[in-house]
């Protein structure tokens, strides 16, 4: 195995079993871990407080206990996360940070506080509209409040130097992750079909200092991004939607003749976009990133922000087809879908919709659907 294969194998092992990694890293480093469900969690503040931010992706097990707290029409991310908490599977967590995004996350926060049994529980009630002067001022106040809550809950002081170091670390991580996307987009053969998925998932749970080093070595080993797309003769696919916790989907699309070369997923590239200014007030700089990163449908920049992004990337990345992945009962993404589909239609790019259930459809069934779609491109 060469160097980058070893690092990618490590990322895959962590992505396959993040809870085992969490227990191990806690034992080895003595650091506290704070869970979060959403890419709007202010991780830079958590990192500056000396904890490891740990993203929760729902559960791979049956959901039973959570049913008595949440309606069955809540998305499986929140129901699955609660199930794992109630079953004691998240015993490595010291607490959780809940940014206010969709109704499901907001309601989960209250239920979690009362039932999950963690010592630390922090709400970050951020504005929905992100790019007005009053929203920016409010966002800065909220982030200041989260910083104070972390300091009080963890009995630490977060200095401006701590924040500056954390910001530099996250800029490095996001820059490496973006480069990895660029690299695979230009040359899909360079990495295994699900390598980017494993890397992104590992990136959201790992000790960020360890991660930054691994990513630096990975990118050194892989080499620089090419300036021209390497033709593979296969169809170039973009995934768009919310959470994707289905590693097999990349292999199935691959078997069906497509390369996933880009995405607009909350567990994908959306997490890695937006650089934070390294000069000036750190809290203000963190607040500014929220209005410059790729937007989620639970937030608002303009009526066309997500569509504009999709339209631009479909052309820039020479996308042949878009697969919309909608997690069942995810209202924000469901509301966005008709507009986005219309826009992709007008760009003369074919698309298909795949609704993701708690238990994915059988592999053969998915492959047939993808083959039909890819043959049509």
SS3 state of residue 273: coil
Query: Minimal distance in Å, beta carbon 359 to ligand SF4?
Result: 16
Q: Which of 195, 238, 330, 344 binds ligand SF4 (CB under 6 A)?
A: 330
Q: How far is CA 63 from CA 69, 83, 235, 266, 351, in A?
A: 11, 6, 37, 22, 31
Residue 283 touching ligand SF4 (CB under 6 A): no
Q: Which is nearer to ligand SF4, 93 or 158 (CB)?
A: 93
Question: Between 76 and 95, how does the x/- string for binding to ligand SF4 read (CB under 6 A)?
Answer: -xx-----------------
Q: Are 294 and 269 in contact (CB under 8 A)?
A: yes
Stretch that binds ligand SF4, among 46-54, 88-96, 157-165, 331-339 (CB under 6 A): 331-339
Check if the beta carbon of residue 199 is closer than 8 Å to that of residue 338.
Answer: no
Give the list of residues 6+ apart from residue 31 with CB closer than 8 angstroms, or none.
25, 50, 51, 52, 207
Q: How far is the CB of 358 from ligand SF4 (least distance, A)?
A: 12
> Running DSSP on this structure, what letter comes out for residue 73?
T
Q: Is 167 exposed, middle or buried (0-12, 13-18, 19+ CB in 10 A)?
A: buried
Residue 200 touches ligand SF4, criterion: CB under 6 A: no
Among 94, 332, 354, 374, binds ligand SF4 (CB under 6 A): 332
* Alpha-helical regions (H) of 187-247: 195-203, 208-222
CB atoms within 10 A of CB 97: 27
Closer to ligand SF4 by CB, 80 or 321: give it.
80
The site string for ligand SF4 over 117-146 (x = CB under 6 A, - otherwise) reads ------------------------------
Considering the rule CB under 6 A, would residue 105 count as an interface residue with ligand SF4? yes
Cβ 47 vs Cβ 97: under 8 Å: no
Q: Which is nearer to ligand SF4, 286 or 298 (CB)?
A: 298
Contact positions vs ligand SF4 (CB under 6 A): 38-40, 75, 77-78, 101-102, 104-105, 242-243, 266, 296, 298, 327, 330-333
């Amino acid at each position: 195995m060469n160097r980058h294969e070893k690092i990618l194998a490590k990322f895959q092992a962590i992505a396959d079993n993040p809870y085992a990694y969490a227990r191990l890293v806690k034992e080895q480093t003595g650091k506290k871990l704070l869970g979060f469900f959403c890419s709007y969690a202010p991780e830079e503040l958590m990192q500056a407080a000396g904890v490891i931010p740990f993203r929760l992706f729902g559960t791979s097990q049956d959901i039973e206990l959570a049913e008595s707290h949440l309606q069955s029409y809540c998305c499986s991310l929140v129901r699955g996360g609660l199930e794992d908490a109630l079953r004691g599977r998240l015993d490595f967590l010291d607490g959780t940070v809940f940014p206010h995004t969709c109704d499901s996350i907001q309601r989960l926060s209250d239920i979690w506080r009362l039932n999950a049994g963690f010592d630390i529980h922090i709400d970050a009630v951020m504005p929905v509209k992100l790019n007005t002067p009053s929203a920016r001022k409010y966002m800065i106040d909220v982030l200041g409040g989260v910083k104070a809550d972390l300091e009080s809950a963890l009995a630490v002081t977060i200095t401006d130097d701590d924040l500056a170091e954390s910001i530099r670390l996250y800029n490095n991580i996001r820059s490496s992750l973006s480069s990895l996307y660029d690299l695979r987009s230009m040359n899909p053969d360079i990495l295994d079909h699900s390598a980017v998925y494993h890397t992104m998932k590992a990136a959201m749970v790992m000790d960020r200092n360890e991660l930054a080093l691994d990513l630096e070595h990975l990118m050194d080993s892989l080499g620089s991004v090419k300036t021209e797309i390497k033709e593979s003769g296969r169809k170039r696919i973009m995934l768009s939607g919310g959470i994707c916790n289905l590693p097999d989907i990349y292999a199935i699309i691959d078997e069906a003749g497509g390369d996933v070369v880009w995405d607009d997923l909350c567990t994908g590239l959306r997490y890695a976009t937006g650089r934070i200014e390294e000069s000036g007030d750190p809290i203000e700089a963190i607040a500014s990133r929220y209005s410059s990163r790729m937007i989620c449908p639970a937030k608002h920049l303009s009526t066309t922000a997500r569509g504009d992004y999709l339209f631009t990337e479909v052309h820039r990345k020479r996308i042949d087809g878009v697969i919309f992945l909608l997690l069942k009962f995810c209202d924000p993404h469901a509301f966005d879908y008709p507009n986005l589909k219309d826009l992709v239609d007008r760009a003369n790019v074919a698309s298909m919709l795949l609704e993701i259930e708690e238990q994915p459809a059988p592999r053969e069934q998915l492959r047939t659907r993808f083959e039909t779609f890819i043959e049509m491109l």
